[in-house]
Amino acid sequence: MSGGQGMAGEQRDRGFGFETTTAEVLEGVDLTGQTAVVTGASTGLGLETARALASAGAHVVLAVRSADKGAAAADKIRDDVPDASLEVELVDLTSLESVRAFAERVRAKHPSIQLLVNNAGVMYTPDERTAEGFELQFGTNHVAHFLLTNLLVPSLLAGAPSRVVNLSSGGHHSSDIVWDDPNYDERPYDKVSAYGQSKTANIRFTVELDRRLRDRGVRSYAVHPGMIITDLGRHMTRDDFAELKSRASRGPSGGLPPYKSVESGAATSVWAATAPELADMGAVYLADCQVSPDAAPWALEPDGARRLWTMSEELVGETFDW
């Protein structure tokens, strides 16, 4: 990969941390000639991630749900990066039919892809279902991205060395996968635990995807972006925030961290996508532009990652034996 990924061994410790921005991560990185796909690219972290990658020369596919919001996002990026190479593609992650159609279009246009950032997500939603009947957070945050990623694997293999970045959260500590009832068909719905389960799934998927594809030049990373004020929190109530603080106080950090700017929140995603110091590793949990020791005990465990892969194939009705 041009730019930074071929320079393993250089710049092992660039002093990055909590306040590092996307601009600092991309200093000296050239992504010219590379194609990046970013889901949820119309607002917040996805928009900043797309803008940052475009600023380094990548052609960026903005995967968005709304054509109007996608066009507005492209305009906003071009205000900052006038020569940005962008395209807007529609995908509704609550519909696997939409995911399949999106992946078919993108593969046809881009037989070679170097970066896939699975950024889109929902948080603390009411008890709702996707088109296929999955619990909304698990279906959107994990199942749809599992399918989308696998459908784009041929392009990622053709573009290798390539990377997949899955947005997780420190909220994954709220729940492991509940294997016998991931969609809350039998148990009472708990939106906090449902969110945690979906974010654990993002990490477990990262682990198994990396195991299957690392020898063919595709690495994957799970990212905790930190606490940022974005549209992701639109469903949170005052009581939800109080519950979040209470759970965080019992976690490894002993409480909620300070808020980050959007530029710092997106920095770890961009670092995961481009950092030369990550070229020889994968299946790791990242935070503050560092490999983080704060993953829950179950999150990086390989047997559970393989189990999730098998369950996810059953849920989407398709097998991916890479």
What does DSSP say about strands 35-39 and 59-64: parallel, antiparallel, or unpaired?
Answer: parallel
d(CA 216, CA 309): 19
SS3 label, residue 226:
coil
pLDDT digits (tens, 9 = 90+) for 152-168: 999 999 999 999 999 99
DSSP codes, 130-151:
-TTS-BHHHIIIIIHHHHHHHH
Provide DSSP, 250-287: TSTTSSPPPEE-HHHHTHHHHHHHH-GGGTT--SEEEE
pLDDT at 59 over 70: yes
Confidence of residue 3 (pLDDT cuts 50, 70, 90): very low
The model's confidence at residue 309, banded by pLDDT at 50, 70 and 90, is: very high
Residues in the chain: 322
> Can you tell me whether residue 46 is helix, strand or coil?
helix
What pLDDT, on a 0 to 100 scale, did the predictor assign at position 148?
99
d(Cα 69, Cα 76) in Å, to the nearest integer? 10
Element (H, E) at 200: helix 191-213
Q: Which of 12-16, 44-48, 233-237 has the lowest mean pLDDT?
A: 233-237
pLDDT of residue 155: 98
pLDDT band at 229 (very low <50, low <70, confident <90, very high): confident
Task: Identify residue 35 by its one-letter amino acid code.
Answer: T
Predicted pLDDT at 234: 59
Query: For residue 59, how far is the Cα from the chain centroid?
Result: 18
Report pLDDT for 252.
61
Q: For residue range 11-23, list pLDDT tens digits in order.
A: 356 889 999 999 9
Phi-psi region of 123 (alpha: psi -120 to 50; beta: other; left: phi over 0): beta
Sign of CA dihedral 291, 295, 297, 302: negative
Could you give the angle at the alpha carbon of 145 between the alpha carbons of 169 and 174, nearest 5°? 30
- pLDDT tier at 255 (50, 70, 90 boundaries)? low
The token duo for 74 is 């492209």
> Mind listing the domains of the chain with CATH numbers?
22-316 (3.40.50.720)
Instruction: Establish whether 221 is a catalytic residue.
Output: no
Give the active site residue among 195, 221, 259, 285: 195
Instruction: Quote the pLDDT of residue 9.
Output: 35
Residues 6+ apart with CB under 8 A from 227: 256, 257, 258, 259, 260
Q: Which pLDDT band holds residue 227 (cuts at 50, 70, 90)?
A: confident
